Amino acid sequence: MSSTSSTSPRAFPARFVWGAATAAYQIEGAATEGGRGPSIWDTFSRTPGKTLNGDTGDVAADHYHRWRDDVALMSELGLGAYRLSISWPRVQPGGRGELNAEGVAFYRDLLDALREAGITPFVTLYHWDLPQELEDAGGWTNRETAYAFAGYARAMARELGDRVAVWTTLNEPWCSAYLGYASGVHAPGRTEPAAALAAAHHLNLAHGLAAAAIRAELGERAQVSITLNLHVTRPADPERAADLEAAHRVDLVGNHIFLGPLLDGSYPVELRRLTSHLSDWSFIRPGDLGLIRQRLDVLGVNYYSTSYVRAREAGAPAAGGTGGHGDSAVSPWVALDDVEFLAPAGPLTAMGWNIEPDGLYELLAALDNAYEGLPLMVTENGAAFDDVVGPDGQVHDAARVDYLHRHLDAVARVIADGADVRGYFLWSLLDNFEWAYGYSKRFGIVHVDYDTQVRTPKDSARWYAALVSAGELLPPVEASARQ
């Protein structure tokens, strides 16, 4: 690996995409306006005890009403690209059939405004807000949901077509499958390990069918992608075979359940063997693997932290491994009862996630190595800290600047070492509804006062704007002097 410190600026490729990301349910609000139907996140967040303080996305950052101001804000920051998600129940309330014209118009206007501002839109079709009607029919455990998703994807391609630069089918199917159906900390809140495996397969199938549907509508020029949260997992003791095996199993259940069918055309035999007591995998139908493996124009990578695991000693208590998005008595890591996730060592973010930029370097390098010719993009990276608006009316989020700086340095290093990484989207543009944690965790580079909806760019926003305009990362000291 190349050195981690540098005294000269790190340059990024000229056409590197500099962006920020959000997701519909986390920022839009207007949950019952404009003809939007209910999603699993409406149902889940309104169920007592499911989110911190009973927070819901009913209002969120009110982006549905303030999107023009938010586009202006992005423009002021000089962002080159914006990764947003479409709320499926806003454009197709029941998840099938007729579209809601008002919902489609919302996204059409937003995409037009972005284009006019010179901001390239990257659109995610599914960032976890499944129409409730589809969940009532079994959700992702039902194969039909994959076909409904393809229908929705095709309709969006038809309606929004050339306005979208890159279509990302799914965001982090790991979370949808395992947090939604195994640990239940995310909607729909089910705790059935076997269902999580079926969900993972149907999500893979949904991706493949949707990719084909988008290309059927728009032709081969359509750029198609998927975003994965791949797990960088380290053995507690790299000398101990059992710990290495534990990390390998996390890799199978967390990563290769998606990478395998998407990129290699099969599920690892070891994965099926490891989970055979839970499921016979009969949800795979003949032909599915061919449908899933579609050309990917870019692979989106979300990265926040690493995990450390060891083989559980007999009798050791079940601990950790919640997947970072909430606590549950049930682990999302199906079939990994003998793997113990260690409490992360500091420094930690407000999520309790450890800060390890080298994990991002290693992940991108490993993907570049394994899948030659597959362009990569970091579609999420960022950190929550307990930000406060100071007496000067500003948010001095030095810890976030440091986090971003070190992770972008890792991206620059891996590019310098030959990896084909085309862009970086910071999570997130705005403070927003952080799922099970409600509004308690702030990831934005722009602070949102939820009482007044006033937006205040944090120091990190100014730092990022300067970086985007320069296209090179200054060494830490110079970078802070430039703010």
Residue 129 vs 243, nearer CB to ligand FCB: 129
Closest approach of ligand FCB to the CB of residue 166, in Å = 16
Question: Residue numbers of the site for ligand FCB (CB under 6 A)?
Answer: 23, 26, 171-172, 175, 229, 302, 380, 427, 434-435, 443
Q: 135, 340, 380, 434: which one is catalytic?
A: 380
Closest approach of ligand FCB to the CB of residue 175, in Å = 6
Q: How far apart are CA 85 and CA 28, in angstroms?
A: 10
Q: How far apart are CA 336 and CA 255, in angstroms?
A: 14
Q: How far apart are CA 411 and CA 421, in angstroms?
A: 8
Closest approach of ligand FCB to the CB of residue 45, in Å = 14
Residue 438 vs 476, nearer CB to ligand FCB: 438
Q: 28, 172, 340, 434: which one is catalytic?
A: 172
Closest approach of ligand FCB to the CB of residue 359, in Å = 15
CA distances from 294 to 7, 169, 223, 288, 325 (A): 42, 12, 12, 11, 30
Closest approach of ligand FCB to the CB of residue 298, in Å = 17
Residue 27 vs 421, nearer CB to ligand FCB: 27
The total number of residues written for the chain in this structure: 483
Residue 114 vs 175, nearer CB to ligand FCB: 175
Residue 175 vs 194, nearer CB to ligand FCB: 175
Residue 77 vs 175, nearer CB to ligand FCB: 175
Closest approach of ligand FCB to the CB of residue 71, in Å = 20
C-beta of residue 168 within 8 angstroms of C-beta of residue 130: no
Closest approach of ligand FCB to the CB of residue 235, in Å = 24
Residue 175 vs 468, nearer CB to ligand FCB: 175
Closest approach of ligand FCB to the CB of residue 380, in Å = 6
Our answer to whether residue 172 is catalytic in this structure is yes
Which residues, 6+ apart, have CB-to-CB distance to 402 below 8 Å?
476
Residue 291 vs 376, nearer CB to ligand FCB: 376
Our answer to whether residue 362 is catalytic in this structure is no
- Active site amino acids: 172, 380
